[in-house]
Chains A and B, each alone.
Chain A
């Protein structure tokens, strides 16, 4: 595992190496090298099983983090490659020529995050959603509760309770009352 990271480090610019477990390493690659990093791992280091492609939305940094998870069957090691891309007009190179499974993941990312993968077959077809009109639903700025309340007809009578208060009231009613009064007094005194 360590030798693999060293060899990879001499060839490409990788950073944020985090050996999470004995056989699991997270590392960050640059966007332009991604295809060659993956091809190198596949051809020379025997990481020839693509487990999944995922995406994390870092809206505060205005970035998407794409996550590629590769597995080596010989020593059961997982290498997880993170790539950061811009959140405006996100585009990424497609790796569907390397793994057939990749095209399904790329289609899903296109629909759920709006990341384009030019060259991936059927990438523009609807995958899961049908007739979707607003922003891609998995982005952080999409509010699913608001959308649901506006679109579907919520039945009245559903209320949300704070579980802490509810449990306290139910299980320790006297203590909850005392705690409430103490907090109230404390708040008034501190004013």
Chain B
């Protein structure tokens, strides 16, 4: 049987019926730096090819010639909106290979950091989704609100975008005094902004008429395309690594996995709104249950000449966009043998976008692209 994703192009390109246009990388609608080669008949897309590689820096090669601790500054630059997941996974992989157990309080602080990063990136994603359909207001709100979260990050870690808060063996230092109260204030504000966004965006006629029924992902496509995260949950697959294969302290938190059913752009956006509220809830639980005393870091060997025992491992975590994974091979030397980063939107952006965009109009393709949470820097790394 021919698989559903096999594309056979029997279009007669010379017939004069079709127009080929390139959208991106210099295009305001494209998320990040990526381009689409679109074949149009009228306003309908007949064929779409994605082209990536504009942000390729060769991280996996660079990591092979840096010592483990020196990999840290470059690891977080793999994903710009949500760098903390990368930091966590790299330290988790190193700890897994070296057999280090981190203190309890460090686990809670790490989870707090991860949830804050998820909050920021998901809110910005909501704004981007609204902006792709022409609602500039929500875009302004959400980016301005994300800045409040970035201020918290600055207070906690000293940097706005790339934090490097987590290190192998724990986190760098204690949060400053009074941090939890300020975080709680921002959480209240977040709930308010979600209430506003709900009124302006999800009840908006234009947004609804464009997003409902656009880019439906059937449940049967989830596994062949390797879709994970919110995109898969919006299609009705109840799978969340935080719940099903808990890492850090997620098994001590009490929450339900958000599931949607429609699988279209509207459903995915709506699910992400609930995801923001879930993050707020989790952060409140973390603040409540977190142990207030204890060390935040274990002693690790001399990091500059740290030889990690030979072995290989795969660690995974749920980022705001889906499953993030690090496959690390060590050969017992000071340098990693190989680090492979499984970006969350890797297959979404390539194979799935090419398949989904056939048949929709040219104006809708960017809304679809944002709703798949395409993130080019993690695709090409």
**Chain A interface (Cβ < 8 Å from any Cβ of B):** 20, 23-24, 26, 48-52, 54-57, 67, 69, 73, 76, 78, 80, 97-101, 103-104, 121, 126-130, 137-138, 140, 142, 144-145, 163-164
Most-contacted residue by chain B among A23, A52, A76, A144 (CB, 10 A): A52
Q: Can you list 23 residue pairs at the A/B interface with Cβ under 8 Å?
A: A24-B314, A49-B226, A52-B346, A56-B337, A67-B340, A69-B314, A69-B327, A78-B314, A99-B223, A99-B226, A100-B352, A101-B346, A103-B351, A104-B350, A104-B351, A128-B52, A128-B53, A129-B56, A137-B58, A140-B64, A142-B61, A144-B58, A145-B65
Can you list, as one digit per residue, whether each of B59-82 has a CB less than 8 Å from chain A (1) or not (0)? Answer: 011101100000000000000000
Q: Please tell me the number of chain B residues within 8 Å of chain A, measured between CB atoms.
A: 42
Cα A98 to Cα B65 in complex, Å, equals 35
304-362 of chain B: CB within 8 A of chain A? 304-305, 311-314, 316, 323, 325, 327, 329, 337-338, 340, 342, 346-347, 350-352, 355
New contact pairs (7) apart from A23-B245, A128-B52, CB-CB < 8 Å: A20-B312, A56-B338, A69-B327, A100-B5, A101-B351, A126-B53, A140-B64
Nearest residue (CB) in B for A24 is B314
Find out whether the CB atom of B338 lies under 8 angstroms from the CB atom of A57. yes
Number of A-B contacts (CB under 8 A): 94
The residues of B that contact A73 with a CB separation of less than 8 Å are: 239, 244
Find out whether the CB atom of B52 lies under 8 angstroms from the CB atom of A101. no
Find out whether the CB atom of B226 lies under 8 angstroms from the CB atom of A101. yes
Known: A54-B340, A104-B350. A99 touches B244 (CB 8 A): no
The residues of B that contact A163 with a CB separation of less than 8 Å are: 304
The residues of B that contact A98 with a CB separation of less than 8 Å are: 224
Cα A138 to Cα B381 in complex, Å, equals 13
Question: B7 contacts the other chain (Cβ, under 8 Å)?
Answer: yes
Question: B380 contacts the other chain (Cβ, under 8 Å)?
Answer: yes
Nearest residue (CB) in B for A53 is B340
